[in-house]
Each structure stands twice: as structure tokens, then as C-alpha cells.
Amino acid sequence: MRQLLVLVFAIPLSALACDAVTETTIQQVDLEAERTALMEKDRKLSELYTTGESPLDTFFASFADDGRVLAPSMPMVEGWEASRAVFTELEELPGYSLEYSPQMAEIGGAADLGYTIGTYHMTVPDSDGRLSEIEGKYMTIWRRQPDGKWKVAVDMFNADGPPVPVNK
């Protein structure tokens, strides 16, 4: 009987202790510093994508092996290679260009997931080969890797409206 009473009190107490350890661990994470770091990572990636010699290599160095792309007017793709193929196809379009700008970042309480939101300006050829501009927004979900680095888990973007012909 005494052993049963010990178990009756020990189990709830150990659960409370686990909650206290979890809360302490979460509270020790500096979420503001993590948010700032994630925002800076997306800003730097944006800059390198626009000005670098190899934009896809730059972007996909930060892409998780099981990452997903949710692009407009096409099915979701999953995995590093399939995701890269979406952007490769875009980059091969004559006149294609992309500039994007992160606007905000947020980090979850355990600092293992975060997201960035921003805007983009894309130039692509229309079906007749004339260049059109697209203004839009994006959201990128980042997942912390076992080595502590942030990698893209999901990249999603969509246009604010229809493409507008470039006047040239």
C-alpha cells in the first residue's frame, strides 16, 4: 500500500518537474536574438540571390533536403531536387529576374521553427515572349537543423495581381 501511495504522488510530481525543465529551457532562448538572426539570414540571402554569380546555388545552400515549394498555379513540390527544378525553370526564362525583400521574421517558442514574410518583384516573359512584371508576397518557413543552422522547410509565394506588361 505504501508503494502505491508513493507512486500516486511521484508520477504527478515528476510530470510537474518535467514541465518546469521545459519552461526553463524555453525561457533561456533569446527569441528576439533568434528573430533578428533569421531576418538577417533572409536579407543576406535576398542580397546574394540578386547580386551573386550563382543565385540558385546561394538559395539552395539554405534549403532543407525535404523542403517544399508552393508556387502559384502548380502543384506543391517536395524535396531539394524537385524544389530546385522549379526555380531552375524560372531562371531559364528569357528576361527573368527576381528581387525580394524580407519584411518580418518570427520565431516559435522552442526556437526550432521560424518564418519570414516579404515582398517580391519578378520579371518573366508572357506567352508571346513579351516581358511582364509581377508584384507579390512570400512566406518562408525555416526549421533549425541539428547543427543549429536554419534551413528552408517551405517556400511559398503568390502574386498580388495579374502580370503587368513591361513598357519598353
What confidence score (pLDDT) does residue 159 get? Answer: 97
pLDDT at residue 157, as a whole number = 97
Summarize pLDDT for 7-47 with one digit per residue, the tens: 444 455 455 555 544 444 445 789 999 999 999 999 999 99
State the pLDDT at residue 109.
87
Of the candidates 55, 54, 82, the residue with the CA atom closest to the CA atom of residue 67:
82
pLDDT at residue number 50: 86
Are 40 and 107 in contact by the 8 Å Cβ rule? The answer is no
CB-based contact 90:7 (threshold 8 Å): no
> Residues 42, 116: contact at Cβ < 8 Å?
yes
pLDDT beneath 50, residues of the chain: 4-10, 13, 20-26
Is 65:77 a contact under the CB 8 Å cutoff? Answer: no
Q: Which three three-digit cell numbers place residue 96?
A: 527573368
Domains of the chain: 30-165 (3.10.450.50)
What predicted TM-score, i.e. pTM, was given to this entire model? Answer: 0.80
pLDDT score for 22: 46
Amino acid identity of residue 37, one-letter, is A
